[in-house]
Amino acid sequence: MTSRRTSPTNDARLTLGELRKRCEAQALPLTGPRLAVLETLVGLQGTHPTADEVYACARDRGFHIGRATVYRALEAFVARHVLTKAAHAGTAMRYDGTLARHHHLVCLRCNGILDVADERLDAIPLPDTSKLGFAISDLQIQVRGICRACQEREQADQP
Amino acid sequence: MTSRRTSPTNDARLTLGELRKRCEAQALPLTGPRLAVLETLVGLQGTHPTADEVYACARDRGFHIGRATVYRALEAFVARHVLTKAAHAGTAMRYDGTLARHHHLVCLRCNGILDVADERLDAIPLPDTSKLGFAISDLQIQVRGICRACQEREQADQP
DNA sequence: CTAATTGCAAAGGGTTTGCGATCCC
DNA sequence: GGGATCGCAAACCCTTTGCAATTAG
């Protein structure tokens, strides 16, 4: 799952230009290190990398950048709606340039994430929390299971 | 939220007897430390405590128990379906004796969890993942927002 | 010149693990 | 007596933070 090549909700390739545009629109200064993070993300497209994976990949590509800078840059991007992040409990955050509404398939083995679009999931009504005084800001759906790669790996391990 | 007293989906008080029964049914040996954890949980009912909160509370109650034992016991209970656990990304796991189907209101300020029952949320269909080869095991819904206590606290802080 | 950003290393929160001691059939 | 369980401390993973140096407006 770490090396997925297709992305069902993201067939339009994410380009560096699109990401730069989003930063400009939000008046987020595009410094050298931040640009390195975006470039790395474009290369990791479709894999929903963790911050550490982005960091490692950026270093591999020859960028001189600190781990904290990667974490800070990714959070800045999320705050300005340049990227989104997601994770299930107990695992590292994963970042992604898909802004369009979608949902996540979370693999319980490798913790990877697959995007999936589903109109029926989009239409889910918010519960009535008036009696609880709970102010809803959003609703998240996580579909958990085992991704194809992990299924195949498990079959190979124990035939 | 840490000190909630009512629990909308859990009006039937969870008893130590019920928890013991679940352990017996699963052939999970009820050792002294594990019993201490269950007793503590009954006392913390409705608060969805974290493992560390259970540990601290158990010590407060005079139980001589190690932190690792609490973590191991809670995980053993979850594995045997004596308890459930939940959390949103980036926060500590929270444990709870409610086995009946329900959903979670997650407070973005205090990270607390409220249970909520909602038939419409129960009826959500699973997405079609056949093309992705993803084997779904379950679907989780998290409603995020601000709980009443945190809303009031924020109003008080900045009037 | 001042504010923002960076890299590094250290600290932090939450959880797991190694290991000798203990408990229980 | 032998396997499960325990308590403790250390390790672990992921992330944030303190701070001096650097960069940008």
Q: How confident is the model at residue A158 (pLDDT cuts 50, 70, 90)?
A: low
C1' (D23) to CA (A31) span, angstroms: 10
pLDDT at residue B155, as a whole number:
83
Q: Inter-chain contact B127–A120, Cβ cutoff 8 Å?
A: yes
A87-143 pLDDT per residue, tens: 989 999 999 999 999 999 999 999 999 999 999 999 999 999 999 999 999 998 999
Let me know: does A48 contact A94? Beta carbons within 8 Å: yes
In the predicted structure, residue A16 carries a pLDDT above the cut 80: yes
What's the gap in Å between the CA of B113 and the closest CA on chain A? 11
- Report how far residue B106's alpha carbon sits from residue B143's, in angstroms, rounded to the nearest whole number: 6
Task: Please tell me the predicted confidence (pLDDT) of residue A156.
Answer: 79
The set of strand C positions with any atom below 7 Å of a protein CB reads: 4-10, 13-18, 23-25
Look up residue A87 and give its two tokens: 């994770």
pLDDT exceeds 50 at position A1: no
Let me know: does B80 contact B120? Beta carbons within 8 Å.
no
Please name the residue ranges forming H helices in B32-141: 32-43, 51-60, 67-79, 119-122
pLDDT tens profile B92-119 = 999 999 999 899 999 999 999 999 999 9
Backbone angles phi, psi at A40, to 5 degrees: -60, -40
Residue B26: band (very low, low, confident or very high) from pLDDT cuts 50, 70, 90: very high
* Confidence at residue A40, expressed as pLDDT on a 0 to 100 scale: 97
Residue ranges of chain B whose CB lies within 8 Å of a chain A CB: 8, 86-91, 93, 103, 105, 107-108, 114, 116, 118, 120-121, 124-129, 131-148, 151
Mean pLDDT for all residues in chain B: 90
pTM of the model: 0.88
Residue B78 tokens read as: 């979850």
List A143's β-bridge partners, or say none: A105, B139
Buried-state track A123-133, b at ≥16 Cβ within 10 A, e below 16: ebeebebeebe
User: What is the identity of the amino acid at A122?
Assistant: D
Would you state the structure tokens that stand for residue B115, as one six-digit string? 């249970």
Question: Is B1 a residue whose pLDDT tops 70?
Answer: no
**Angstroms from B55 CA to nearest CA on chain A:** 19
- Helix, strand, coil in percent for chain B, rounding step 5: 40, 20, 45
Find and give the residue nearest to C7, measured CA to C1'.
A66
Q: Is the pLDDT of residue B122 over 50?
A: yes
CB atoms within 10 A of CB B144: 16
Per-residue pLDDT of A62-94, as tens digits, reads 999 999 999 999 999 999 999 999 998 999 999
CB-facing half-sphere around the CA of A57: CA atoms within 13 A: 19
Domains, chain A, ranges and CATH? Answer: 16-157 (1.10.10.10)
Q: How far apart are the first and last CA of chain B?
A: 21
Under DSSP, the state recorded for B147 is -
Nucleotide of closest approach to A74 (CA, C1'): D15
